[in-house]
Amino acid sequence: MEKSSTGLDANVAGLLCYVLGWISGLVFILIETKSKFVRFHAMQSIIVFGVLTLARIVLDFIPFIGWVISWLIAVLGLVLWIVLMVKAYQGEMYKLPWSGDFAEKRVG
């Protein structure tokens, strides 16, 4: 596996893009200059976990049904978090349907 500009193997840096959700994605999109693989995973992390975070914040203001949907989004987020970290560590450019295409276009 190639090295990223951070000195880490690209698959390890790709995994780390997801560790803290959109926050670690933001860090890696700002510091990674060389690896398109790492930049892709960083951007996908920002998009996926940023949208999920915003959705949960909005839904938390809606009594009961909003709380239930927010909880379901949290479970979805946990599953995506694990899957995306594993796929990145395996060296895959695993694209989620909408966010993966968007991220790929943004990082070139």
Per-residue pLDDT band for 2 (boundaries 50, 70, 90) equals: confident
The residue type of 46 is I
The residue type of 49 is F
Rounded-to-integer distance, Cα 84 and Cα 34, Å: 21
- Evaluate if residue 21 carries a pLDDT over 90: yes
**Within 10 Å of residue 23's Cβ, how many Cβ atoms?**
14
Q: Where are the domains of the chain?
A: 10-102
Q: 47-94, pLDDT tens digit by residue? A: 999 999 999 999 999 999 999 999 999 999 999 999 999 999 999 999
89 near 75, Cβ under 8 Å? no
Tell me the two tokens of residue 51.
């949208």
Q: Which residue has the tokens 């560590």?
A: 89
Alpha helices in 20-96 (DSSP H): 22-31, 36-59, 65-89
Q: Which of 9-18, 66-75, 99-108 has the lowest mean pLDDT?
A: 99-108
